[in-house]
Amino acid sequence: MKSSQGDSNPLDNNPLSGTRSKPRSISGHLAAGLIAITLLVSIVTITVIYFNAIREQEASLTRKADEYTQYLVGVLQDLLWDYNEESINTICRTFLQNELVVSIVIKETSGRVVFSGKNSPYTDLIKRTGKIHSHGELLGEAEISFTRQYVKEAGRRLLVSYALTMLFVSMSLVLLTHLLLRVFLKKPLDTLDKIVKPYIAGIYDSPIPELPYTEFQGFGNTLTQMGETIRLQMKELHLQTAELEEEIEKRQKAQDELERLNENLEQRVKERTAELVAKSDELEQKNRELERFNKLFVNRELRMIELKERIGELEMKNGA
């Protein structure tokens, strides 16, 4: 009897062969990883650059505020000494035209306001105060307020510029990484496909093609070892199958012999039963004949007894 187990593919009996997960893209995963790393590094870098730029802008604004204050105090020394109010107003209005200057207040030492002007409603300010001296006397003070609005706007522009750059770099990475990985991975993946297909067809001793990248050589070696292991297991399985077939054949022969002996025994039992039935019938016939003979003998004895009694009665009558 020939078994079909030796011709079956053990991979077909794998209970996990019917379980398939959703296919994933290596290039997509690598691109996503690169994008995540790039975004993280870019965010950290942009954050550092942004705060450094803000600090530099703040420092620049502080320097300008000090310079403008010193310059205004220097200009107002002689004018306030001469009390040239018209020139003071002209110079202060000129200063107010600067986009960084929000307000200017010029006061005398008595507290009298010589000039007060404001050109914007900004509240986030840097204030500087300078003492006005002339000819060794304190004439008053100048208070100038500078806005941080332009520093913030410069920071926002810088942040938007970096964000757009980061977005462009990320999109470029997505496209280029996806494209390059597909191009570079196609050859090793095709090679792996050539390695795996003979295993699917049940050929485990086919030569392994050379893989072009060292990252895949470990996988290729694993496939080679797996093929050798499967080949040895299949050889052992064929031997076990042959032994099993031989054992099955022996048991089948023993079963056939046992059935033949059972048939012979049944035939002999039938023959013996027939003989016993015939002998039983013969014995029954003899018993019936014996019963009939006994019945005849008993009847004869009874008649003899009856005859003797009649003779005795007749003798008694004759004697009387």
Phi and psi at 137, nearest 5°, equal: -115, 150
Q: Does residue 49 or residue 7 have the better pLDDT?
A: 49
Asked if residue 139 has pLDDT above 50, the reply is yes
Asked if residue 78 has pLDDT above 60, the reply is yes
Confidence band, pLDDT 50/70/90 cuts, at residue 170 = confident
Tokens of 203: 């050929």
Amino acid sitting at position 77? Q
According to the model, what pLDDT value does residue 97 have? 80
Task: Encode pLDDT of 188-227 as tens digits.
Answer: 677 777 777 776 666 666 666 666 666 666 766 777 777 7
Return d(Cα 128, Cα 100) in angstroms, integer. 13
Task: Encode pLDDT of 91-102 as tens digits.
Answer: 888 888 877 788
Confidence band, pLDDT 50/70/90 cuts, at residue 9 = very low
Confidence band, pLDDT 50/70/90 cuts, at residue 248 = very high
Share of the chain above pLDDT 70, in %: 79
What's the CATH class of domain 26-186?
Answer: alpha beta
Q: Does residue 4 or residue 69 have the better pLDDT?
A: 69
Which residue intervals of the chain are DSSP H helices?
Answer: 26-82, 85-96, 149-200, 214-319
According to the model, what pLDDT value does residue 4 have? 42
Asked if residue 5 has pLDDT above 70, the reply is no
Tokens of 141: 């003070």
How large is the average pLDDT for residues 37-42?
Answer: 79
How large is the average pLDDT for residues 288-304?
Answer: 79
Phi and psi at 179, nearest 5°, equal: -70, -50
Among residues 126, 102, 106, the alpha carbon closest in space to that of 115 is found at 106
Asked if residue 145 has pLDDT above 80, the reply is yes
Q: Is the pTM higher than 0.75?
A: no
CA-CA-CA-CA torsion sign (153, 158, 159, 160)? positive
Average pLDDT, the chain: 76
According to the model, what pLDDT value does residue 6 have? 43
Q: Does residue 167 or residue 1 have the better pLDDT?
A: 167
Asked if residue 28 has pLDDT above 70, the reply is no
